[in-house]
Amino acid sequence: MSARTTGHTHPELDPGIDAGEALRQVIDACLGDWERHLAGLMAGDDPRGPHGSRVALRRLRTALRGFRPILDRAMVLPVELEARALFRLIGPLRDADVLAGMGRGSGSLSAAIAQDGCGTPESEPDPLPALRTRTRQALTARHAQAFGDRVRDLFAGPLWRRRGGKARRRRKGPAADLARHALDRAWQRARRAGPDLAALDEAARHRLRKDLKALRYLSEFFTPLLPDLPLARQTRRLKALQDDLGTLTDLDLARRSDASGEGAASLDEPGSEALRRAARRWRRFFAHDPSAGEGSA
């Protein structure tokens, strides 16, 4: 496996691998990233810890979605729910780090750190150091450090496998076949936003951003399996588009955190520029036909 500059591991899947083994390797890569970034979150104040932890969880959830045709839904659902709960628990700290990086305090950020580890939000905001401490406490209460071991135990046995002849054939068949199916579904989900990104409201842009992340992560997982598709190039284009959408998300967060509204005007120009870039990139990306190998990455 190789860890690229993103800080996340890209499993080097053999093109002839079957889908079941590909799943295990992808899951193991995601869990390794989770544990590495979680250790950083628990030990230090580097914003890459919370951010990397959340990305690892999103990649894990994306992998489970991509391999869904061979997964027993009932057995895997608890993993998905726990990953989502951990993702949301870390969210307020990630938002506070973003605001601090933009030169804005976290005092106006609504805290949503659970006191009991079950998602109960706080009613009062926390400053960043206290928020960081509370996040660590909540993660410890949920036994987050052992999450990876719990998931590995499930996938070490047979209970995750969907029953039935069709699912068995898919599991034992070429991973490349399942990869094409997963990429096509992810692309179709993203296309639901339509070609005009500038016409989307904040919620719709956020949904598109999540869909594009899933498309990008699946592309990264499956690049070795599909050498006939330009997935590496498409991944780079997706990253550039996501960067612009991420800028818009951060600016939207800053606006919501500015109770006085005094700093809103300073956000208009960078927001407008990021929106123009994102809209231009999305139009070009949207125009590609995934069946021709351009849109599926």
Residue 45, domain member (yes or no): yes
Q: What is the pLDDT along the chain (297 residues), one digit of tens a residue?
A: 544 434 788 899 999 999 999 999 999 999 999 999 999 999 999 999 999 999 999 999 999 999 999 999 999 999 999 999 999 999 999 999 988 887 655 444 443 333 334 444 444 455 899 999 999 999 999 999 999 999 999 999 999 999 999 999 999 999 999 999 999 999 999 999 999 999 999 899 999 999 999 999 999 999 999 998 889 888 999 999 999 998 888 888 877 776 545 555 555 677 788 899 999 999 999 987 554 444 433
Based on the domain organization, do 101 and 58 belong to the same domain?
Answer: yes
Residue 283, domain member (yes or no): yes
Based on the domain organization, do 3 and 68 belong to the same domain?
Answer: yes
Distance between CA atoms of residues 275 and 248, nearest Å? 7
Q: Given 138, 173, 208, which residue is the final one in a domain? A: 173
Residue 188, domain member (yes or no): no
Based on the domain organization, do 48 and 100 belong to the same domain?
Answer: yes
State the residue range of the domain holding 165. 1-173
Based on the domain organization, do 101 and 209 belong to the same domain?
Answer: no
Closest alpha carbon to 10 in 18, 2, 19: 2
Angle in degrees, CA 211, 46, 33, rounded to 5: 50
Which CATH number do you get for residue 160?
1.40.20.10
For residue 25, the 8-state DSSP code is H
**How many separate domains does the chain show?**
2
pTM of the prediction?
A: 0.85
CA atoms within 13 A on the CB side of 168: 4
